[in-house]
């Protein structure tokens, strides 16, 4: 149903080319989408491994397979809550591993920053490698690429400042205590102040270990490379572009889509993909390849996550019935 909704949405936008897009989709060998699912699983495994390594800095043991199942489930919860319920799910999962709120936030911010730096590095390499080609084909939107770079750097800088700066923490608490004067809320403000103080210690602690930082950064690069190569396998039959050009374009798309934090980059990623791929492969190929790309990278994780949630829910029902019996 999700894939059909996305298909209808794009057909409405590209009404003039809708017949050609449908023809292109009908002529596609759909086995390629299922062959690409292992790349999506690899993406989640690498993300799960990064979580495991980071948690080990706090001497907390995480099982890799549990982390993988958690990330698939998080994809489902992120989709149904439009990203809003993801943090609650993360806090619940990390709490099961005896990690408090500040440690959970510290780990997730640390992994987020590593991901963003990996994406920016890939995008910078792409711009250096194919500057003349990019500028000739994407000259009209080149300012958007530069703006996306600058805004991403600012986002990373602001997030790190919020986590590391004691002055910002003090100013936030001073403002909140002036606004919230009710005695009933003072306990919650004290807890928040304590968590912010702990958070200020978590990021330097995580960044201090160069070995783990290099390992996490390396896996972040591999993780995004696994996704960046997907469009090439979809378009390779048409022989429209080299695999390196495809990865370079995807690096730019990832920077662009990261500016609007929606689940799975829904909307922002699609816009960026079409913006950068249409000049290379044409409107019909770009739209059809985007729809095919969405199946292994967006639909499959949600369906796997839904399956995991349903299995656990059914298992919980049986456990409750057994206790009553």
Average pLDDT, the chain: 78
Cα(233)–Cα(94) distance, integer angstroms: 36
Cβ(50)–Cβ(219) below 8 Å = yes
CA 167 to chain centre: 30
Q: What is the rounded (10 degree) CA torsion for 152, 157, 162, 166? A: 180
- The CA-atom distances, in angstroms, between 77 and each of 70, 85, 93, 309 are 10, 6, 13, 9
Question: What is the pLDDT, as a whole number, of residue 304?
Answer: 92
**Closest CA relative to residue 243, chosen from 228, 227, 232:** 232
Question: What is the pLDDT, as a whole number, of residue 171?
Answer: 78
Cα(207)–Cα(214) distance, integer angstroms: 10
**Is the pLDDT reported for residue 264 higher than 60?**
no
Residue that is written with structure tokens 């403002």 in the block: 175
Cα torsion 22, 18, 40, 126: sign: positive
pLDDT one-digit tens code per residue, 199-212: 666 667 677 777 88
- Give ∠ CA 259-48-1 in degrees, rounded to 5: 60
pLDDT band at 70 (very low <50, low <70, confident <90, very high): very high
266: phi then psi, degrees, rounded to nearest 5: -60, 125
**Is the pLDDT reported for residue 4 higher than 60?**
no
Cβ(293)–Cβ(234) below 8 Å = yes
Domain extents for the chain? 40-324
Question: What is the pLDDT, as a whole number, of residue 11?
Answer: 58
- The first and second tokens of residue 75, run together, are 């994809």
* Predicted model pTM: 0.79
- The first and second tokens of residue 193, run together, are 């102040």
Least confident of 55-64, 81-90, 181-190, 218-227: 181-190
DSSP 296: I
**Is the pLDDT reported for residue 12 higher than 70?**
no
Give the N- to C-terminal CA distance of the chain in Å, as an integer.
39
- The first and second tokens of residue 263, run together, are 């689940």
């Amino acid at each position: 149903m999700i894939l059909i909704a996305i298909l209808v949405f794009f057909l409405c936008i590209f009404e003039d080319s809708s017949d050609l897009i449908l023809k292109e989709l009908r002529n596609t060998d759909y086995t390629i989408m299922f062959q690409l699912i292992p790349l999506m699983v690899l993406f989640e495994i690498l993300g799960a491994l990064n979580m495991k390594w980071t948690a080990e800095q706090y001497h907390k043991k995480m099982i890799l397979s549990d982390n993988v199942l958690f990330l698939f489930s998080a994809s489902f919860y992120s989709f149904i809550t439009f990203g809003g319920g993801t943090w609650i799910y993360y806090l619940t999962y990390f709490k099961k591993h005896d990690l408090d709120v500040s440690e959970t936030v510290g780990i997730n911010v640390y992994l987020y920053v590593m991901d963003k730096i990996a994406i920016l590095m890939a995008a910078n390499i792409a711009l250096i490698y194919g500057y003349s080609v990019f500028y000739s084909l994407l000259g009209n939107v080149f300012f958007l690429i530069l703006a996306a770079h600058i805004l991403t750097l600012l986002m990373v800088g602001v997030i790190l400042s919020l986590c590391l700066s004691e002055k910002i923490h003090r100013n936030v608490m001073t403002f909140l205590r002036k606004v919230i004067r009710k005695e009933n809320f003072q306990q919650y403000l004290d807890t928040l102040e304590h968590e912010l103080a702990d958070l200020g210690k978590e990021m330097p602690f995580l960044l201090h270990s160069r070995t783990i930082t290099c390992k996490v950064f390396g896996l972040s690069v591999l993780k995004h490379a696994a996704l960046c190569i997907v469009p090439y396998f979809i378009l390779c039959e048409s022989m429209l572009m080299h695999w390196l050009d495809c990865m370079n374009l995807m690096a730019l798309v990832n920077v662009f889509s990261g500016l609007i934090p929606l689940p799975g980059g829904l909307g922002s990623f699609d816009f960026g993909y079409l913006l950068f791929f249409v000049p290379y492969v044409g409107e019909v190929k770009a739209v059809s390849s985007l729809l095919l790309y969405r199946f292994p990278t967006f639909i499959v994780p949600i369906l796997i996550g839904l399956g995991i949630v349903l299995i656990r829910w059914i298992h919980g029902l049986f456990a409750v019935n057994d206790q009553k019996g």
